[in-house]
Amino acid sequence: MVTSRKGAGGKTAAAKKKAGAAGPDLVQLLTPEGDLVEHPDYSIDLSPEEYRGLYRDMVLVRRIDAEGTALQRQGELGLWAPLLGQEAAQVGSGRAQTAEDYAFPTYREHGVAWCRDVDPVNLLGMFRGVNNGGWDPNEKNFHLYTIVIGSQTLHATGYAMGMQRDGREAAVIAYFGDGASSQGDVNEAFVFASVNNAPVVFFCQNNQWAISEPNERQFRVPLYQRAAGFGFPGVRVDGNDVLACLAVTRAALEHSRSGNGPILVEAFTYRMGAHTTTDDPTRYRSSEELEEWKAKDPIMRMRSFLEKNKYADEAFFTEVDTEADTVAADIRARCVALPDPKPISIFDHVYAEPHPLMDEERAEYGAYWESFEGAH
């Protein structure tokens, strides 16, 4: 069993209760009511400022996400995949990473991107339809969003094998969903990571749904237990508990960084919104279920924790809300200003070396499109 790295910064004296009600299968450090609980293998001890920082991150990413949905509704984006409900899993795991670590996201990791200091407007390009990715993955060690389910887990594993060969003091984190766990690619990634002892953390956000299909359509054994069959450890963490997500992911990354090979983290969470803006979840799930999970809201519990321990006052919460509005306004302004690509740009970057057909077609289509200019 892995142990956690202590949080950096000054110690605090928040009261801790004995083992949470979450059960032995689920690592929880903060209850839905906002009380700290002890866990035999994991702990967290942050400064008030760091606790506030996690809260701020979650509020900001929820606001960015809401802006994404709003922009889609107003026709500024073609589609948006909301992270609503998954803020703790993404911020906790995102803040656990160092700048040297490398993340391979799905299409929903807006909160992880935030923690990796990726400009949120970069994320919007693909959803607006002005590019098919559109950022340099190596700038922030944050790979492009991958839409094809599961593929990125193999890329992450290969990247980790590269790091391993170069002796880099870093690990890779591969994000994927509960639905993705059925894909051959994901299971092949487990095999490759295992036999190569690759430094990769497989981080599954089990948000209970793969579009309309619940967990039982994908697996009949808790996901984290699957790791054992592949020969590496697996741990399930309360995905709505940002402190547990941070502690568990820190420990997992450290496990992989220090040569112990892969590890699977299953963050047990809930997709509170639609799958994407084109989805209608009322067709397949009950409002009772949604209400149940709303009571476990990741942001509310962190707020209760901060209030109960007097780590933050009303002024702080107001300040964060104001900042969220500012961030959202900035993103909106820059999103709507994103220009449509020029049609001729579709020929750019397809090949590294000259390609005669590319040149021929660029000239042909260029002349054709030009003949319409002004007419449009």
Partner 1 sequence: MAESTTKTQQISLSKGLNLGLRRALEDDPKVLLMGEDIGKLGGVFRVTDGLQKDFGEARVIDTPLAESGIVGTAVGLALAGYRPVVEIQFDGFVYPAFDQIVTQVAKMRARALGKVSMPIVIRIPFGGGIGAVEHHSESPEAYFAMTAGLRVVAASNPVEAYWMIQQAIASDDPVVFFEPKRRYWDKAELDPTATPYPLYASRVVRQGTDATVVAYGPMVKTCLEAAKAAEEEGRSLEVIDLRTLSPLDLEPVFASVRKTGRLITVHEASVFMGMGAEIAAKVTEKCFYSLEAPVLRVGAPHTPYPPSRVEEEFLPDLDRVLDAVDRAFAF
Ligand X SMILES: Cc1ncc(C[n+]2csc(CCOP(=O)(O)OP(=O)(O)O)c2C)c(N)n1
* Residues known to be catalytic: 271, 275, 284
Number of residues that bind ligand X (CB under 6 A): 15
> Which residue's CB is nearer to ligand X, number 28 or number 106?
106
Specify the amino acid at residue 221: V
> Which residue's CB is nearer to Mg ion, number 122 or number 151?
151
Report how far apart, in Å, the C-alpha atoms of 33 and of each of 25, 77, 237 are: 19, 36, 17
Which residue in the set 115, 149, 156, 160 belongs to the binding site for partner 1 (CB under 8 A)? 149
Is 209 among the residues that bind ligand X (CB under 6 A)?
yes
One symbol per residue from 257 to 296: x for binding partner 1 (CB under 8 A), - otherwise; what is it?
---------------------x----xx------------
Question: Near partner 1 by CB under 8 A, which window of 15-23, 192-200, 209-217, 257-265?
Answer: 209-217
132 binds, among partner 1, Mg ion, ligand X, none (CB under 5 to 8 A by kind): partner 1
At residue 286, the 3 state secondary structure works out as: coil
Residues between 189 and 208 with contacts to ligand X, criterion CB under 6 A: 207
One symbol per residue from 84 to 103: x for binding Mg ion (CB under 5 A), - otherwise; what is it?
--------------------
Is 207 among the residues that bind partner 1 (CB under 8 A)?
no
Give dist(CA 304, CA 51) in Å, integer. 12
67 binds, among partner 1, Mg ion, ligand X, none (CB under 5 to 8 A by kind): none
Residues between 163 and 182 with contacts to Mg ion, criterion CB under 5 A: 177-178
Q: Strands, DSSP E only, in the chain?
A: 16-17, 36-37, 102-104, 172-177, 200-206, 209-210, 213-214, 234-238, 263-268
Residues between 53 and 72 with contacts to ligand X, criterion CB under 6 A: none
Cβ at position 77, least distance to Mg ion in Å:
21
Give dist(CA 284, CA 208) in Å, integer. 12
The DSSP annotation for 12-48 comes to: ----EESS-TT-TTSB-SB-TTS-EE--SS------H
Give dist(CA 3, CA 250) in Å, integer. 9
Start-to-end CA span in the chain (Å) = 64
Cβ at position 297, least distance to ligand X in Å:
18
Give dist(CA 197, CA 346) in Å, integer. 40
CB contact at 8 A, 205 and 177: yes
Pairing relation of β-strands 209-210 and 213-214? antiparallel
Is 43 among the residues that bind ligand X (CB under 6 A)?
no
Q: Over the range 224-258, which residues count as b (16 or more CB within 10 Å of their CB) and which as e?
A: bebbeebebbbbbbbbbbbbbbbbbbbbbbbbbbe
Which residue in the set 91, 126, 161, 244 belongs to the binding site for partner 1 (CB under 8 A)? 126
Pairing relation of β-strands 102-104 and 213-214? unpaired
Is 128 among the residues that bind partner 1 (CB under 8 A)?
yes
Binding site for partner 1 (CB under 8 A): 78-79, 107, 125-132, 147-149, 179-180, 182-185, 210-213, 217-218, 278, 283-284, 340-343, 345-347, 350, 357-358, 361, 365, 368-369, 372
Binding site for Mg ion (CB under 5 A): 177-178, 207, 210
Binding site for ligand X (CB under 6 A): 106, 108, 147-149, 177-180, 207, 209-211, 271, 275
